[in-house]
Amino acid sequence: MPAAFQVRTSRRIETVDITGEVQKRIPKDFSGVCVVYTKHTTTAIGINEGADPEVRGDIERNLARLFPHDGDYRHMEGNSDAHLKSILMGPSESIPVEKGSLLLGRWQAVYFCEFDGPRTRTVTLTFLSG
C-alpha cells in the first residue's frame, strides 16, 4: 500500500532532504524496495551527498546555469527550465530496504528537488517486496 507526505518549499529552486520523512514511513519489518516518487512535472527525486549542505547549493546553482529561467523556450507557462531540470533528474528513486531501514550509503540522502516553487507538493512511497 502506498504512503504519501507533503513537502513545502520556500524558493523557486530548492533541494529538500526528505530522508527522515521517507524512513519514518517504512514498516519496521519490511525488506524489499521503496520507490520514492513525485508526480509533478517540475520536480524530481534524487539521491546524493547529505553530509555537506554545499552539495545542494552546487546542484541548484549548476542546474540553473544549465537551464536558465530566462532561456530560449517555446513553452508558454514560463517554467520551461523547470520541466527540463525535472526530466534530467527524474521523478523517482528506488531504494533497497532491509528490516525497515533504507540501505543508503554512508553519505547519501534522499532529496526532493523543486524547480518551480514555492509550492506544496506530494511525495508518494510504494513498497515492493521480493
| Rg value, the chain, Cα | 15
pLDDT at residue 48 in the model? 97
pLDDT at residue 44 in the model? 98
Taking residues 108-122, what's their average pLDDT? 98
pLDDT at residue 51 in the model? 93
- Domains, the chain, with CATH or none: 3-128 (2.60.120.460)
> Cα dihedral angle (120, 40, 37, 58), rounded to 10 degrees?
-80
Taking residues 38-49, what's their average pLDDT? 98
> pLDDT band at 20, cuts 50/70/90?
very high
> pLDDT band at 1, cuts 50/70/90?
low
Closest among 49, 3, 30, 18 to 101, alpha carbons compared: 30
